[in-house]
Amino acid sequence: MRWTLKPRADNQKLKALQEALKVDETVASLLLQRGIETYDDAKTFFRPSFADLHDPFLMKDMDKAVERIELALSKKENILVYGDYDVDGTTSVALMSSYLKTKQDNVSTYIPDRYDEGYGISYKGIDYAWDNDFSLIIALDCGVKAIDKIAYAKEKGIDFIICDHHRPSEKLPNAIAVLDPKREDCEYPYKELCGCGVGFKLIQALALKEGKSVEDLTEYLDLVATAIGADIVPITGENRALAYFGLQVINNSPRTGFKAILKQVKKDELTITDVVFIIAPRINAAGRMKHGNHAVTLLTETDINFAAECAADIEQFNTDRREADKSITEQALNQIEDNKEQEGFTTVVYDESWHKGVIGIVASRLTETYYRPTLVFTKSGNKLAASARSVKGFDVYNALEACSEHIEQFGGHKYAAGLTLKEENYPAFKAKFESVVKQTIDPQLLVPEIKIDKAINLDKVNDKLMRIIRQFAPFGPGNMTPVFMSDNLQDSGYSKRVGEDKSHLRITVTQNGVDNITGIGFGMGDKYHLIENKQLFKAAYTIDENVWNGTTSIQLKLKDIKA
């Protein structure tokens, strides 16, 4: 692994911030790395406020969207809330539909079938709206590239409002309103909202027109925080405030569906990481293994007994998802090992029998293993569908765009995307993708990188630092958990390999003969030889709490060790 130490902060700024906040050099340095240079910056960072949220009417087309919804409500039109089948999409649909249902009853939801319709807006969905007299569709987390489908809906007299956060093409769909902060002509100050975040801005605008404030919408923020965590958008600026207050809702007054999930997993207080690894996979499992409607039903249910039944179903979907994920990952790894002679700058695998619902997870696992831009293909109807994942620093969306002559449809982000193509185009696409990546990637990006915030001595690792770092949360892109490095470390005699298969490493170390501290390195058992016999070594780590037999102590959570 590559260790990259972040540049040292400007001395003048460092001293000024230390003085303003009365903190030590380590904390001031961590804050400066996050763009926090003044007392006011720090106040905003450590004490998120609803005042941090921008006026929703700064978003292009927001006035048009509000006007059209107000008209629909006044005329009692049938409104269809349409969203994708992943966490961002289903939470968006739950948010928008439950808000609109406080205004009128004739609001319905539609989630496309992952296998029958695929990602985003479908002709089948539009036909459903036409057959059931819906005159307005509000699409969330999708739609910004659905030019032909929006035109098809318009021919049928159906209006569209799009709430999306994906990168649009040069041409926009002919909808009543296209809300997307990534539009080039949109001057909204914060560009990194998720789909559910854009949906929240729309209900915020509707509430403002009624004389209500954002505080009146707090109950919806558990959905927004879940989407922020699951969609891996930066937890900076407006997203930080939304995630902060959303976590408070999840922990203090969660909606009935979340209560049902949390009852099964028996977790007291959730962090954003828990949301990503506990709540999000279960919501996602519905769309992966069965249908996204199950997730929307759970997220909008108010009866705890029925919610418990829904949560039990979703728990089973999640178990099925884990089994499929494990099986397909093993098959994919074997396929790669069997074709080692073809190894290049990318990992592209295909099997027509693989479950479409888990190929994205498998792509993530393969990327972790081989650290290459990765595509996992399966058969979907008469075409091939793939999930793409990338390595840090490489834009896989741009790479796919360069291969567009071989692709039927694609969309996504810098690090994750999806696509479909004709089976006969697969060999040509695979060759072109390898060629594009080979020509455009910096080779050092193919070696995993650990970015280290600061080199410190072990005597700095104490309860006070732990308390301050805890206040940096919620963590995520743009505000990752601080990573430290210490050198001249030495085993104090109690380090060992642990776990059933001895695959983990538990260390007890000292630095310059003082301050014994423990650490755990998951999956790092094979590095024991670097520390045995009292050899000096260095470690990259985060600071964590270990609870054992009712006692809480600080430990190092190892990222890597080197001689």
First to last CA, the chain: 13
Q: Is 525 exposed, middle or buried (0-12, 13-18, 19+ CB in 10 A)?
A: middle
- pLDDT (average), residues 329-333: 95
Buried b (16+ CB within 10 A) or exposed e, 272-281: bebbbebbbb
What's the CA dihedral at 14, 16, 17, 21 to 10 degrees?
140
Helix (H, G, I), strand (E, B) or coil at 558: strand
- pLDDT (average), residues 251-271: 87
User: Average pLDDT of the chain?
Assistant: 93
Look at the block and give the residue holding tokens 């003085």: 19
pLDDT value at 340 more than 90: no
Which of the residue ranges 17-31, 124-138, 187-201, 282-296 would you say has the lowest mean pLDDT?
282-296
pLDDT in tens, 363-420: 999 999 999 999 999 998 889 999 999 999 999 999 999 999 999 988 878 888 899 9
pLDDT in tens, 139-175: 999 999 999 999 999 999 999 999 999 989 889 999 9
Helix (H, G, I), strand (E, B) or coil at 349: strand
pLDDT at 533: 86
pLDDT at 341: 56
To the nearest whole percent, how much of the chain has pLDDT over 90?
80
DSSP letter string, 457-496? -GGG-SHHHHHHHHTTPSPBTTBPPP-EEEEEEEE-S--E
As its CATH architecture, domain 450-562 has: Beta Barrel (2.40)
pLDDT at 339: 80
Instruction: Kindly indicate the confidence band of residue 546, based on its pLDDT and cuts at 50, 70 and 90.
Output: confident
To the nearest whole percent, how much of the chain has pLDDT over 70?
99
Joined tokens for residue 435: 């060629």
pLDDT at 415: 87
Domain 59-314 has CATH 3.40.50.1370: no
Look at the block and give the residue holding tokens 């030019």: 147
What dotted CATH number matches 339-446?
3.10.310.30
pLDDT value at 321 more than 60: yes
Note the pTM of the prediction, 2 decimals. Answer: 0.89
- Strand bridging mode 484-491 / 537-548: antiparallel
Give the domain ranges of the chain.
59-314, 339-446, 450-562
